[in-house]
Amino acid sequence: MKTNCIFKISIVIIALLLCGCTNHITEVKGRMANNYHLFMDQHVAAMNSSLQKISPAKITKKKLFRAIPSAIFQFELSSIGNQKISIKQYNEVRNNTLKIIKDSLSLYIIYKDKEAVKSLVDSILKSYSEQFPVKNAYSYYKEQREYAGIFVQFVEAKNEGYCNEENMLPGDCNWGYIFLSANGKSLLQFQCVGSDSVRYDIGDYRMKSDTLVCTFKNSYSYPEKYDSNSGVSISDPNDGKINPEKDFIIKLLPCECLQYPFIIKYINEEDKESVQQQTYVVKIATLKEQDDFIKSIRNIKPIANMVI
């Protein structure tokens, strides 16, 4: 009788675990349905535009084709978010990714020769699977998950004695925020008093050993405007564009200071006359600061998918 009781309890526990796992995957699939257009619409539009001039076979040699696998991977990662899933569940997610992408691209790519469209879609899925095989992609997901959603504030400090808050350096443009998204992207914003524009640097991040490495490759900026009478901002955050930039790297190093989880040692190479190291102490920003930041980014259509 005792054995039967233990067996029944075990069955209940397994059922609960399976139910939880199933709920995770159901949530991921639900997010996939919502996220598809956010990540893929611009790529489909670019393909449809090109298909008016060239055949589907020639598109595979274009730059726009090479960008699609990365977009699909970001779509997949953003749909998983911070959910903790096993490699087996990731396989299920991948199968769902392939199905959604195949069905959607087959529907939204406009070209008279449907067989040619089918061949193009198959080429996209093959390229994606080759560039992001499940085992490697799952390792990347596990690495990113621990830090996804972190929002930190950095402030410049003296190179020595930076653990002392009195050694922070006052300034109009020497502090700001870094956001690490669930889809492996990073956003950097310096807060500059009196600036005539608002700028975000856009990149990605990886964990290497005990260091978070952020590589910024693009920027988005828009003019900062104020009403001359009231002084209230009348800026349009969508009145800007994404621009390619020279890559620069910021490393968030583990910090020995109790109040700061990270420290940044940055060498400003743009100042040719005085190339020197700058030190920034990094702390986790408040929830209000994070909420305000995320809300502001969600209102900027070109970079809204950075905070998914």
Helix or strand (DSSP H, E) at 114:
helix 114-131
Map residue 26 onto helix, strand or coil.
helix
User: 7-11, 27-31, 302-306: lowest mean pLDDT where?
Assistant: 7-11
Report pLDDT for 2: 41
pLDDT of residue 21: 43
- Confidence check: pLDDT of 275 > 70: no
What local confidence, expressed as pLDDT, does residue 127 receive?
92
Instruction: Give residues with Cβ within 8 angstroms of 305, minimum separation 6.
Output: 35, 38, 39, 74, 78, 183
Q: Which of 59-63, 274-278, 284-288 has the highest mean pLDDT?
A: 59-63
- Given a cut of 80, whether residue 19 has pLDDT beyond it is no
- Residues 236-243 have a mean pLDDT of 92
Bridge partners, 157 (sequence order): 168, 279
pLDDT at 244: 93
Q: For residue range 168-180, what is the model confidence (pLDDT) as tens digits?
A: 887 778 889 999 8
Rounded to the nearest integer, the mean pLDDT of the chain is 81
Sign of CA dihedral 101, 104, 108, 111: positive
C-beta separation of 35 from 308 below 8 A: yes
On the question of pLDDT at 16 being above 50, the answer is no
**DSSP-derived 3-state class of residue 21:** helix
DSSP β-bridge partners for residue 202: 187, 218
Residue 242: alpha-carbon gap to chain centroid? 15
Structure tokens at 263: 């420290």
Q: What is this structure's pTM?
A: 0.56
| Residue 229 tokens, joined | 């009478």
In this prediction, residue 242 carries a pLDDT of: 93
Q: Which residue has the tokens 């469209």?
A: 117
Strand ranges for the chain from DSSP E: 151-157, 175-180, 185-191, 197-208, 211-223, 241-254, 262-267, 277-284
Mean pLDDT of 72-94: 83
Give me the mean pLDDT over the 189-209 stretch.
Answer: 87
Alpha carbons 217 and 297: distance in angstroms, whole number: 18
Residue 148: pLDDT band (50, 70, 90) is low
Rounded to a whole number of angstroms, the distance between the first and last alpha carbons of the chain is 51
- Positive or negative CA dihedral for 40, 200, 205, 60? positive
User: What are the residue boundaries of the structural domains of the chain, listed by start?
Assistant: 2-145, 151-307
CATH of 151-307 among 3.30.70, 2.10.109, 1.20.1630, 2.40.128: 2.40.128
Q: What is the mean predicted confidence (pLDDT) over 187-208?
A: 88
Confidence at residue 281, expressed as pLDDT on a 0 to 100 scale: 87
Give φ, ψ of 267 to 5 degrees. -105, 115
CA dihedral (58, 62, 66, 69) in degrees, to 10, reads -50
CB hemisphere CA count around 210 (13 angstroms): 7
Residue 73's nearest CA partner among 101, 42, 103 is 101
84: Cβ contacts below 8 Å, ≥ 6 apart: 24, 145
In Å, how far are 76, 80, 140, 148, 177 from 187, measured between CA atoms? 19, 20, 19, 12, 8
DSSP string, 213-228: EEEEEEEEEEE--B-T
